[in-house]
Structures are given as structure tokens and as C-alpha cells.
Chains A and B, each alone.
Chain A
Amino acid sequence: MIVVGAGGGGAVVAKELAARGLDVLQLEAGPRFAQSDKEWRHFENEANNPATGIFRFGPGDRTKPPWARDLPQNCYVWQTAGVGGSTVHYFANSPRAMPGAFSDYTGPDASLYDHEHVFPFGYRELIPYYEWVEHTLPVQTAAMGTKEDVFLLAAGKLGLPVQTSKDITRAAYRPQENAILQPEGTAGRTSDRRRLVYPQAKGCTFCGHCAQGCIEPMRSPVNLRAKRSTHASYVPMALTADRWARGKAVTLLPDAFAVRIETRRSGTDLSATGVAWRGVATEESGFEEAKLVVLAAGAVETPRLWLNSGLPNPNGQVGRGLTNHYYDHVIGRLRTRTNSSKGPASAARMDFPGHGSIEQIGLGPAQQAQSLTDSDAGIAGFYDNGFGGGAQGADAVSRHIRNRLTRFLADIDRVLAAIVLTDDDVQTDSRVTLSTTMKPDAHGSVPRVELPRRSARTIANREFLVARAVELLRAAGAREVVRVGWPPLLVHVHSTMRMGLADRDSVLDENAEARAVKRLFVADNSALANALGGPNPTLTTQALATRTAERIFTRYFGGDPWIGRETPVSSIDPAVTSAVVALG
């Protein structure tokens, strides 16, 4: 079988089925990052420049331009091509979805969710898959630094309770459940790099460079890196599945851009039969037949590949229904230290069922400056672009440039920032199509991402959350609080190939198999039915991908289910470490 994409979801399917002994070929358009400890850097521009950064959406050869997208509105796309996908720059926050996003939810607040686009199965059904992934990554309770201390103390002042369970059961605050190894030894206890070498240091060293890729602790085997991107967790397991399990190692082909899904018709059924790809560096064409294909190229590229392949789209839903949590950024300036630039990027949160979530976020100076200036709300005192949102108690809503920008950044470690993750509605006109204005590139027509006006519920949710974020920052002692009014930020991008209850409004059935093409599954964020109620999507995508792998194995390969019957092997298990070290 072939898996297209080695990011947050594809790596999970590949590892799970490789561990069952299947012959898995995994294609990845971006680079391998085989020597990540030498290739990745803590510097923000080196890592995150959208045109030249290591973590851009483009080829591994950084002298060449990134791959183009047609983006007909003010927006910013933050995706990485390469083994690990966007999990190489993600913050590793791994909350479970809100139960209200699923078909079995009957709570008193059920009407608050996007109930027309729920998951086609119940929340309880997903819990064993969550537990499997949480053990594999592993997901742990976040350790706190100064900024988390300040954030959580302020959340308590708002009268919210602490959430102590994995499940989100009520409006509450908590340290993140995140895929970052807790600090051990000297980690988090020194800035002396001579003492931050594995195994003297284990887990998170509080370096403050999550967005630049995690290469800590120094000299640790890749599967023991603190942040559990799939580059550090699922991919090493997939590549060594013959060693730590009685499986078969995945064949990983980086720099291979999938350009077409091949199909064959038998009677009334159309089935996937293989994948054609283009060597990004070699420009050679390749093709491999397969019994089954899993698409996991991301919520923009998966529908692009589908459409470029000319696959059927009988209900017109391919690419539609894009959700992205309609982020916003609220930031406060404090007299006291927060050490905002240090430690994990985001290790504390508040959840508001029916509305969404708020995360504490710490960044380096360049990304914090970008966060303060990326706005759809004009410049305070001059114009507002007709921005519909209110201040919600903040001192200004604006693209913060000039004096306010320099004032907020006068001490990076005395600011406290909160990101709003809105539970946004699935809207059919928010979508990915093929561009008709840009020339096709070497991989076919380029994707066009359109994000028109939001629903009233989405806007109301965002305003609600911004108001809570402002309250929190005031409670934390901020002497000045501003809202930025972000334009769409495409980091959490979901539901463009959504699974659903009905044929008419979804691409995938409840097994994540395409309704229109048999033996073709989707295992990235695009398979999600909705925006999950607001929580970060990666864990749910990974749980769903695990469930999808199990369905593939039982339905098409005659295997038995394993979730709930077997004990998962952690990606930090000594057997995996030995296998990774032996592989070299």
C-alpha cells in the first residue's frame, strides 16, 4: 500500500500498518531531514521565513522558491513540507476534541456546536484510539515555566476550575497535555550547554525554540527528542518496524511529490490502484501500483491531488468546508517577568465548550513581532478596514506597528500572549479548488484557498474568546492589552475532505474511505468532520488515523483489530531506541 505524505497523520497510518507486517511505501514531497540536528537551527528567520526558511512549504533545496498557492485574501499559511510535516514546527499540544463535535453528544449545550457537521460516530468510540496515540507519542502533562505560572494563576482568578481529566468536560483551565517529554536530569535546570547533553539531560530543556524544530537534548537519539513530532516518534518507529515489532520496515521516499492517483473501474466500483509521483530534485517520474492508497498530504494538498487526478466529485464536496479555528491574538504587557521567550511555546490553556479554546503562547522576538502586526483590522487611529470585531476590553485593536510595536517588544520577557482557537463552522464556500489564474507548476494545477466571510456563530465564538483572553491578561496584571485581529492563519487546517453522516455533504464515510473511490482513504486533518470544538487537531487526527489503519487492516487485509486488545509500544521504549540507534 502507499501512503502519500509523512506528516502528522500519514506517519501514523504507515507505522501502524508496517507494524502489522504490511508492505508500505510512503511518499513525502519535502526533504527527509535525516541529519536534523545539523540541518535545523534555532534562528527564527533561518527556520521560519516563508520563502527561504527550512520549514517552508517547498523543496529541500532552499535556493529554489517555495511551492505556490493561490491565496486570494489576506491570510498566512504556515505549513512545512518534509518528513514530519507541520509537526516539525508545531507546539505539540495534544488535547482531545470536545465531545460536542461527535454524533453521540446529548449534553445541554449540544446546540452550541456545529451540529450539522458532527463526526459520524460517537466520542466514546474514539477514546481507545486516543489512549493508544497518547501512549505511543507519548502525551504528558506539561511542565510549567514562568509564563505558564502567570497564565494559570490568572485563569484561576477568573473563577474557572482546573481540568484534571484528559477529556474536556467543562469550561476550565489546565496545563497542556502535550507531546513533549517532561524534563529530567539537567533539562530545564540550566542554560549551560555543556550540561544539556543526553543522557545527562532528558526531555524538554526549555530552550524556547519549538517553532524552529526540536533538536534537544543534544546528542539524543532522534526518537528521544523532547518534542514528539512524527519526525521523532512515528517515522522512526515506521522505519524500524521490523526490529521493535514483528513487522516490516516502511520504505520512505522523500522528495517525491505525488501528482496523480490512478484508478481502475470494476463494474460500478472505481478503485485506487497506484500513485504517480515526480522526483522533486531529480525531476524523474515514478509510478507504483498498490492494493490501497492513503492520502495524507495535508488539508490543502490532498484535495488538490484529488482534483488534479480527475477523480469523481459527485456531490461537489471535495475541498469544501475548510475550517481553521479563526485564530486571533491577544497580548498583554506586564511589569513582572513572564519569560515569554523561554520554555515550550504553549504549555497552558483554557477550554470553553461550545466556543473554543485559548492558549498561552510564547515566541521569539521575530515571530512575536509578526504576531503583533498581522492584522485585518487596519491601523488604530487611522482606519479599521470595517473590522467587525470589538475591543472586548482591550486597549486597541490593530495592526500594531510603530510605537506600540516597539513598546510591546521593549522586553520580550515581560509580555504574556494568548491565542484564540475558535470553534468555527464548516462552511461550504470556504474551500480548496484548483487555481485558474496561476500557471500550473510541475505538479499540476496549484491549489487556490478561499476563505470568505464567517458564520454568525463563528464570529460570536471568536468575540467571546477574545473577551475571555482580555480578562485573563488583565487578571495577570497586564498594564496594556491589545487585540490584533488576525486574518486567517492557516496552521490548523481541517475538514476539506471531511467525513460525515450523509452522502450528500461529505467526501469520506465513517471509515475515512472515499465514498466515490474504493481503496482510497484519507488520514490527515482534511478527514476531520469539523473544527473539533476548537482544540488543536493533531491528536484527534492521529487517533482517527489509527482507527483508519485498523479499519484498513481488518477490511482489506483480513487482519484482526488491535486497539483495546494489545498494549501499545511507546516511541521512547528502549526497544525502539535500540532499533533507531542500530538503523543509524
Chain B
Amino acid sequence: MARVTGQGFSRRALLERAALLAGAAVLAEIPDALRVRGWLEDAYAAGPNLVEQTINGLVAFVVPGRDRYSAAQGQKSRTPGGIEAGTTSAMIATLDRFLPSKPPLSATAATVLNQVATTVRPAAAHGKFASPFANLSFADKAKVFQTIEGFGGAEAGSIRFLFGNLPDLVAFLAYSETGAFDRRRGRLRRRPLGWALTRYTGTSDGRAEFKGYLGNRKTADPSA
């Protein structure tokens, strides 16, 4: 599966190394040595549109909806999904606040996803979206995560941390209030989509839910 390049390294090995360096950049705020790496330049060059498309592709992967990114991966939903819930912008903001860096963490994440996407499916570089990751099928997106989560070596730890948390952060945001919340006013603009999808009754100061005590015992024996 791995191809050997003219320099004698497999493409996969190069890929891993480049990803590691991108991850190390996140942690060490870009050692000078990384500036010459192609991926790092890609991360710097990743404009808002490319980052947004890539994160859209990620959000559709975790919580598909009726949007064109879900359609492109071949896995739609009958109900609206994470993109319609406003997850993408919240995800980018969360990543970039979590660890401010240059390039931004969202751009680093997007670059790694896109670079690995082109190795999983080279044709993904020329698709409907500028983001190769967003052009992948659901199964190929899973291969991207399989590849990244499989990066070996102690140096790959930061990559495993970042990409291990991306899907669950997407899920958290997609089902939260974030897309419908007006932070300035501290209140909802509308009912969050994630609440409607889960039939959640919404926040409350209390519920009529008290059922009593097991065996009517209100206290435990103090000591055995």
C-alpha cells in the first residue's frame, strides 16, 4: 500500500513525518525548521474558505444532515445535521481558542485532514470542494481517521490528542445550544437544533421527577 519515493522513504512515512511536524508546530509554536515543510506552508496558506469546507466535511462525517457535504460523502440524513446546527463556526472558534498558534489550530487540523485525504484518494484533490477531505466518501473519511489515529511513535502523541478529540468535539457542539445562543444577551435566539433532534425538553430550574427513595430508606447505616 505504501509507495516508495525517490528519496527512499515511503509516502506513508513522509506523510506521518509531515503530520507530526504540523502537530509539533501546534505544541511548540513552529520551530524555524518547520517553515520549509510543505505542509506547514499549506497550513499557513489555508484560507478561511478551505478551513471551513474541511470542517464542514468533518461535521458531516460525524453528524450528517441534508446539506451538500453530507450528500457528497454519500451519507445523508432525513433530518438536519451538524452543519445546519451551526457547528462549523463553533468548531473553528473552539479549536483556535483552545490553543492559539500560528497557523491557527483549525488550519493545522484542516491541512492534516486534507493531506491525508489525498493519499487515501488522490482524486480527492480535484472534486466539488477545494477541500480534498470534504470530497471523500464516508468510508474514505473513516480511512483518513484510521490513518491519523494509527500514526506511531512517541512524537505522534499530539496528533493523537488533537484528532482523537475532533469527532467528539463536533458531536458535543452539534447537540449543544451553541448555534442558537446569543452570548451577548445570554439567551437563546431560537430552539437549538440539537435539542429538537433529541427531543430534549430544554434547560430548566427544576423538573417534576422525584420518585421517592429505594425501599423508603432516606439514610444509610453509618457503618457496617
Contact = CB atoms under 8 A, between A and B. Distances in A.
Interface stretch (A187-195, A249-257, A547-555): A187-195
A73 B97 contact: no
A406 B99 contact: no
Given A190-B206, A372-B171, A402-B64, A46 B177 contact: yes
B138 A402 contact: yes
Contacts of B99: 65, 68
A206 B207 contact: yes
Contacts of A369: 63, 168, 171-172, 174-175, 194
B223 A165 contact: yes
Interface in A364-393: 364-370, 372-376, 378-379, 382-383, 385
Interface string B210-224: 111111011111111
Contacts of A177: 220
B200 A364 contact: yes
Given A70-B27, A162-B215, A175-B214, A341 B165 contact: no
Nearest to B214: A175
A43 B75 CA distance: 30
Nearest to A212: B203
Given A65-B98, A164-B220, A401-B61, A45 B181 contact: yes
Contacts of B24: 437
Contacts of A188: 206-210
B223 A187 contact: no
B119 interface: no
B209 A65 contact: no
Interface string B21-51: 0001001110000000000000000000000
B79 interface: yes
B197 A439 contact: no
A60 to B, nearest CB: 15
A62 to B, nearest CB: 9
Interface stretch (A49-57, A240-248, A302-310, A517-525): A49-57
Contacts of B77: 406
Contacts of A146: 209, 211
Nearest to B179: A45
Contacts of B5: none
Interface in B139-169: 139, 142-143, 145-146, 149-150, 154, 157-158, 160-161, 163-165, 167-169
B220 to A, nearest CB: 5
A401 B63 contact: yes
A196 interface: yes
Contact of B213 (A175, A343, A378): A175
Interface stretch (A1-9, A24-32, A136-144): A136-144
Contacts of B64: 402, 406
Interface in A168-225: 169, 174-175, 177, 182-183, 186-191, 193, 196, 201, 205-209, 216-218
Kindly name the residue among A71, A366, A385 whose own CB sees the greatest number of chain B CB atoms within 10 A: A366
A73 B204 contact: no
Interface in A52-88: 52, 65-66, 68, 70-76
Interface string B105-134: 000000000000000000000000000000
B224 A193 contact: no
A412 interface: yes
Contact of A164 (B94, B199, B206, B217): B217
Contacts of A231: none
Interface in A83-110: none
Given A401-B63, A402-B75, A201 B214 contact: no
A563 to B, nearest CB: 15
Given A76-B165, A383-B146, A367 B206 contact: no
A45 B214 contact: no
Nearest to A366: B176
A70 B199 CA distance: 38
Contacts of A405: 62-63, 171
Nearest to A414: B199
Contact of A205 (B163, B177, B194, B205): B205
A576 interface: no
Interface in A431-446: 435, 437-439
A193 B204 contact: yes
Count chain A CB atoms within 10 A of each CB in B63, B79, B161 and give the residue with the most.
B161
A148 B205 CA distance: 20
A114 interface: no
B206 A205 contact: yes
Nearest to A72: B157
A81 to B, nearest CB: 15
Given A41-B186, A43-B176, A73-B161, A166 B222 contact: yes
Interface string A115-151: 0000000000001000100000000110111101100
B118 to A, nearest CB: 19
B208 A190 contact: yes
Given A52-B93, A191-B208, A165 B181 contact: no
A44 B211 contact: no
A145 B222 CA distance: 24
B94 A51 contact: yes
B206 A187 contact: yes
Interface string B64-78: 100000000001010
A51 B98 contact: yes
A438 B61 contact: no
B7 interface: no
B19 to A, nearest CB: 14
A399 interface: yes
B90 interface: yes
Contacts of B28: 437-439
B211 A145 contact: yes
Contacts of A343: 207, 209-210
Contact of A72 (B62, B143, B161, B224): B161
Interface of A: 41-46, 48-52, 65-66, 68, 70-76, 127, 131, 140-141, 143-146, 148-149, 152, 162, 164-167, 169, 174-175, 177, 182-183, 186-191, 193, 196, 201, 205-209, 216-218, 339, 341-343, 364-370, 372-376, 378-379, 382-383, 385, 399, 401-402, 405-406, 409-413, 435, 437-439, 487
11 contacts: A49-B94, A65-B100, A71-B158, A166-B222, A190-B206, A207-B207, A218-B205, A367-B172, A406-B197, A435-B27, A439-B28
The 5 closest A-B pairs by CB, nearest first: A72-B157, A188-B210, A74-B164, A205-B206, A366-B176
Given A162-B214, A187-B206, 10 more contacts: A73-B160, A76-B168, A141-B217, A165-B223, A206-B208, A207-B207, A370-B169, A401-B167, A409-B197, A412-B198
